[in-house]
Each structure stands twice: as structure tokens, then as C-alpha cells.
Amino acid sequence: MKIAYLDLQQGVSGELLLAALLDLDLDFEAILFQLNKINFSSLELDLQRGLQLTKEARGAKLSLNIVNPRKQIAAQELRALIQNSKLSTELKEDMLSIFKKMFKLKGELVSFEQGVEFLVYTAGILICLDRLNIAKIYASSIQLGSHPSARVLELLRGVTVFADNERASLVSELGATIISYLVHSFEGQPELILDESGYGWAKSNSSGERCLRVTLGETAKAASAYLQDRIAVLECNLDDMVGEFYEHVLDKLMASGALDVYLTPIQMKKNRPAQKLTVLLAEEDLSSILEIIFKETTTLGVRIDYKDRYKLERQLVEVEVKGEKVQLKLGYLTGELLNVAPEYEDCRQVAAKTGISLAEVYRRALSNFAMHKNE
């Protein structure tokens, strides 16, 4: 699995990140061709490669020239440009997610320059990552500079940052938005087999010369054999809730997208018996799951942690038991079938309809699967 590591010790902006990615010998003309799928003709983009950054490293610098600029542009117009573009559906969805985070108010007016930079740098970065086939992105903690804006701090909430540089601001709003959306973890560079590195260079009146490094690499073979994602883990302790309510809460959480929900008996202070509610979920479902927990339980607070998850490749198949359909979940590792599990709810319904035991439904489902597999 190919991953990217971003060194953000000199801050981050959309310009810096895109320049660093383009320094990885990507075809600049091909990137421009993709960018032109956004029907927006008010810009010229130029790339300089091979600039001497330090004695040891060379890098790339971008120049963005806005043609016939206006004073302002509506955020709604930017959204329409994305939606009406000929970019891939997946890329447009990512752009709209980043747009939603950066421009929260529908119809909000922003500076024309900021709008153009958003379109060019956001689309350019996503196009580069797609061409590089990057599966995950890791990053160092982010250098903020001495006076980051309140908006940047809001956008970076929950991200690891530091500030030991006298220069005023080293993080742009767009840089903060893109990084917080794309980066899997800010815990430093993971163990990887190094491939190539790219350096982006930018200069501004307020912060001087800055550099951002992108390093590509492959994870160890043992880890790359598995599918990977990142999940949120929510926990809260419940010691004053009616016992019959738990089933209702667990059912609502699962119906709202939770990956798993379970209760663990615990002892709280003063030896009070309680239940620890644990919910596993995808990060995008966090808001809806929190709403259910606070509305349907007696807790006043929830603990949240984020975990990497390794999993088998999954496939669903159907077999028949006594003329009724039963779904089975299959788990594969590099093409080898390791696990077969009949769906409990399907088996329970078949047992109720046919009168045979639940255990017998399980046995017949597995037997029928094995028979068809060997045909």
C-alpha cells in the first residue's frame, strides 16, 4: 500500500502542498488538462522545477496569475463550478466536502483570489494524489507560526500543532482545511520503505521562504495484505439508566450506521454497578451517533478515540435453506478464503418459518455454500 508523509514543520498552504506533489515528476500538462475540466478561465498556472531550496534539496514553485479578477465571488458559485465540472464523481465529492468545511455559510461572499485558489489548489492536490495512487496520508505536527488566525485555529481543531517560529502565520485557511480533511494521522512518519520525495517552495511578504516535503513509500507487506481504515471509538459510563432501555439504544445506534455496539459491566466509584457503552463507527457518522447517545441515554459526556483497523476483504453471497435465502459473509486474505459466517438474522427468520432449529439452519447454510463452491 502506497502512503505519503508530509513534513509540515514550516507550515502548510494549498500552494506549498500542490508544488511538492508536482515535484514528484508528475506530468504537469496532464494535471492542467484535468484542471481545465472546471469551466473557469480566469487563471494562468505556471510551474518551476529544480529550484535550489537548500544545499541538499531542490524543489518546485507554483505561480498563479488571476486574469480579469473581480472583487468577490459567492461561495455558491464556487459550489456550482465544482458540481458542473467534468471531473470524476469521487473527486467532486472530495472537493465538495472540503468546500463545506471551508465555506460554512451558504451564499457567503469570499474574495475572488481566495475562491480561485480554492478551486485550483484543491482540485490540483486531489488530482495529484489520485495519479500517485496514495492510499493514506500521514503528517508531522503543524508549525503555526507566532500569530495564526482564529479561523485557522478553528479549522485545525483536533490536529497536533506547535508554534516556535517568530514569523506571523505559517498556515493558510485553505492549507488547514485540506490537511485536516486528507491526513490520516499526525503522529509522525510511520515505518515505510522509502520511494521518492518532492519539495514545494513558496515565498510571501509575511512569512518569508518556506518549504514543504512530501515523501512516498510502501508499508510492510504484512500490513499491506489487509484492508485498512480508521474508525472512531466512543465510550460512556451509564449507571442510572433503566435496564430495558438498552435494547432500544443499541438498535437505534446500529440503524444509524454504527459498525458495532456493545456493553461492558463495570464498577464505578462508591462501588456502583454500571455499564460501559462502546460504539465503533466511521468518522463521518460521528455527529448522528453522538446525537442518539445524548438524546437516548443519561450520560453527560462521551470519550472519543481513533483507531486504525485492519480487516479482511469481504464478500456477500446467498444460499438457500429449505427454499429460503440465507446470506453469508466471506473473508479473504490475498485471495484466500479464511472465514465464512452465515448472517444470524437470516438464519433466525428461516428457523422461524420452517420450524427447523437455528443450529440446523447454520449447518445447512454452510454445507450448501461448500457444495456450490466445489462445483
Q: Which residues of the chain have pLDDT under 70?
A: 42-43, 50-57, 105-107, 166, 204-208, 220-224, 374-375
Backbone angles phi, psi at 145, to 5 degrees: 85, 180
What CA–CA distance (Å, rounded) separates 179 from 17?
A: 9
Q: Quote the pLDDT of residue 197.
A: 92
Q: Letter for the amino acid at 202?
A: A
Q: Quote the pLDDT of residue 274.
A: 92
What CA–CA distance (Å, rounded) separates 29 from 20?
A: 16
- Residue intervals of the chain classified under CATH 3.10.20.300 are 313-373
3-state secondary structure of 247: helix
What CA–CA distance (Å, rounded) separates 150 from 156?
A: 10
Whether this model's pTM surpasses 0.85: no
| Phi-psi group of 323: left, alpha or beta (phi > 0 → left; psi -120 to 50 → alpha; rest → beta) | left
Name the burial class of residue 250, with classes exposed (0-12), middle (13-18) and buried (19+) by CB atoms within 10 angstroms of its CB.
Answer: middle
Q: Letter for the amino acid at 291?
A: E
Of the candidates 253, 166, 184, 146, the one whose C-alpha atom is nearest the C-alpha of residue 2 is 184
Of the candidates 51, 45, 42, 53, the one whose C-alpha atom is nearest the C-alpha of residue 7 is 53
Of the candidates 280, 245, 277, 255, the one whose C-alpha atom is nearest the C-alpha of residue 264 is 277
Helices (H), the chain: 14-22, 28-35, 75-83, 89-102, 112-132, 150-155, 173-182, 221-224, 245-255, 286-296, 344-354, 358-373
Q: Quote the pLDDT of residue 294.
A: 95
Quick one: fold of 228-311? Alpha-Beta Plaits (3.30.70)
CATH fit for domain 313-373, picks 3.10.20.300, 1.20.140.10, 1.10.1740.10, 3.30.420.40: 3.10.20.300
What CA–CA distance (Å, rounded) separates 356 from 164?
A: 70
Q: Quote the pLDDT of residue 42.
A: 65
What CA–CA distance (Å, rounded) separates 13 from 171?
A: 6
- Residue intervals of the chain classified under CATH 3.30.70.1380 are 228-311
Q: Quote the pLDDT of residue 251.
A: 93
